[in-house]
Amino acid sequence: MAVAPASQMFQLQPYTPPAWATNLALLPKQRCHLAQLPTPIHPWPVPGVPPGCELHIKRDDLTGMQLSGNKVRKLEFLMAEAVQRGHDSIITIGGIQSNHARATAVAARYLGLPCHLILRNSKHLADSDPGLVGNLLVERLIGAHIWQVTKEEYGRYGGPALGERLAAQLRQAPWGLNPFVIPVGGSSSMGVWGYLEMMREVEQQIVGQGFTDIAMACGSGGTTAGIALGNHLGGLGLRVHAYGVCDDPDYFHTFCDGLLEGLGATRDVVGADSAGMFRAVQARGAGYAISREDELQAVADVAAATGIVLDPVYTGKALHGLLTEMRERPEEWRGRKVLFVHTGGLLGMYEKVAQLQPLVEARGAAHRLQLDD
C-alpha cells in the first residue's frame, strides 16, 4: 500500500476488494488515487482516559488533499464512479462550512472537472457573499461554484431534490453540463467503499495488537457504515462506537441500514443489521455545528496535552462523548484498547475563533519581547 508514484495520482486504477467483501452486490472495479495511504496509528495519551484503558489514534486527518480528512477515501470511489459513467462535472451539497464540499471541490479540480456546491446557510446570510472563512477559502480559491440555500429551503426540499434541481439547471444552456450528484457527506453506498477499504488497512496495521474497540464521529453515516461492515465481514471483532453529531441513534441505524442494503449487505446476507454492527451514541450537544464550551475546552485540553487538534463539529464532539462515557462508567473501559479515528476537519476550527479566544487566553497572554536597544 505504498504511496502512488506521481504519474498515478488522480488516475483511475483497477480495484480489487478485500477477500471478505467479494460477496457484496455493489463492487467497484476502479478507484481514483487521491489519498496518502496508509495513514498512521499511534498511541494518544489523552487526559481523562481511565486507568487500565489505552487510547490510540488513526490519523485520517492526514489523508492529504488540502486537509480533506475522511472524505478523500470516499471520493476515491465516488470520483471513479463519476468518470466511469462519463460525467463532466460534479455537484455536491452540505453546510456552509462543509468539509465534504471542500474535499469534493479539490478532488474535482484535481481531475479537471468543474464543481458546483450547494451550501446551506442561515436565512439572513444566504443572499450575501459567504466570505472566505475556513473551508470557503479553499473552495473559492480553487474556483468551485457556490450556490447558497437557506436552512428552511434545505429542510423543505431535502438534499437529494436540491441536487437534482441544480443538475437540471446545469444541463440547460448556458452550462450544458452532465453533472454527477454526490449526496451529503459522500455517503452513498459507493462512498462506503472508502471505509471498507480503510478497514483492510486497519486490519493489517493492528493485527496481533489486542485492539478491542474503534470509535469515530458520525455525521452522514458513511464512515461508520464502512467501518462497522468492514469490522463485521473482516472478523476484526472490535466494538464499534459511533458518536452522532447531528441526528439521533435511531436515525443513524435506519440510514446506515439503507447504505448497507445498497451494498447488498442486508441482514439475511451478512447475518447482522447496523444495530448488530455498531452502537450509535448521542453526541450532538447544542446542535449540529454549534459548540458548547465544554466541548471546545476538551478540544483545547487535548491539543495542549498531545499536540493533536480535533475539529469542533465532528471529532471534538466525538472525543468529548467518548471521554464522557469513560468518566461515567470507567469500569466498562478497563482492559480495553481503543482506536479513535481522527476524521479531519481542521479548517472548520477557523469559524470558532471567537469562541476559542477566551479558552486560549485563560492559559496566559501572549508575551511582548522586550529589546534593550
Ligand X SMILES: *Cc1c(COP(=O)(O)O)cnc(C)c1O
Contact residues for ligand X, defined by CB under 6 A: 69-70, 99-100, 185, 187, 217-224, 311, 314-315, 343-345
Q: Minimum distance from CB of 221 to ligand X (Å)?
A: 5
Distance CA 143, CA 361 (A): 36
Handedness of CA 56, 237, 277, 34 (dihedral sign): positive
Residue 316 DSSP symbol: H
Q: Closest CB to ligand X among 177 and 198? A: 198
Distance of closest approach, residue 341 Cβ to ligand X, in angstroms: 8
Least distance to ligand X, CB of residue 224, Å? 6
Grid cell digits, residue 162: 436540491
- Per the residue annotation, which of 7, 68, 89, 98 is the catalytic one? 98
E strand or H helix that includes residue 196: helix 189-206
User: Which residue in the shown chain puts its C-beta closest to ligand X?
Assistant: 345
> How far lies 208's CA from each of 1, 176, 204, 239, 277, in Å?
19, 54, 9, 16, 22
Identify which of residues 134 and 344 has a Cβ nearer to ligand X in the complex: 344
Whether the bond into 174 is cis, omega within 30 of 0: yes
Q: CA 284, CA 291: separation in Å to the nearest integer?
A: 9
Contact in structure between 190 and 81 (CB atoms under 8 Å): yes
- Residue 117: CB atoms within 10 A of its CB come to 27
Q: Which residue, 154 or 314, is less far from ligand X as judged by CB?
A: 314
Q: Name which of 121 and 187 has its Cβ closer to ligand X.
A: 187
Helices 189-206/71-84 angle, 10° precision: 130
Q: Closer CB to ligand X, residue 55 or residue 170?
A: 55
In whole angstroms, the minimum distance from the beta carbon of 280 to ligand X comes to 11
Name the DSSP class of 351.
Answer: G
Q: Could you tell me the three cell numbers for 244?
A: 452522532
The crossing angle, in degrees rounded to 10, of helices 222-234 and 249-263 is 60
As beta bridge partners, residue 115 has 90
Q: Please, which residue, 218 or 339, has the CB nearer to ligand X?
A: 218
Separation of CA 213 from chain center: 19
Q: Is 291 a catalytic residue?
A: no
Contacts for 43 with CB less than 8 Å, ≥ 6 apart: 54, 55, 56, 57
Q: Residues in the chain, how many?
A: 373
C-alpha cell recorded at residue 335: 482492559
Instruction: Name which of 121 and 170 has its Cβ closer to ligand X.
Output: 121
Least Cβ distance, residue 185 to ligand X (angstroms): 3
CB of 246 to ligand X, least distance (A): 9
Omega of the bond leading into 18 within 30 degrees of 0 (cis):
no
**Which cell numbers in the block locate residue 126?**
444566504
The span from the CA of 3 to the CA of 9, in Å, is 9
Rounded-to-5 percentages of helix, strand, coil across the chain: 45, 15, 40
The residues annotated as belonging to the active site are: 98
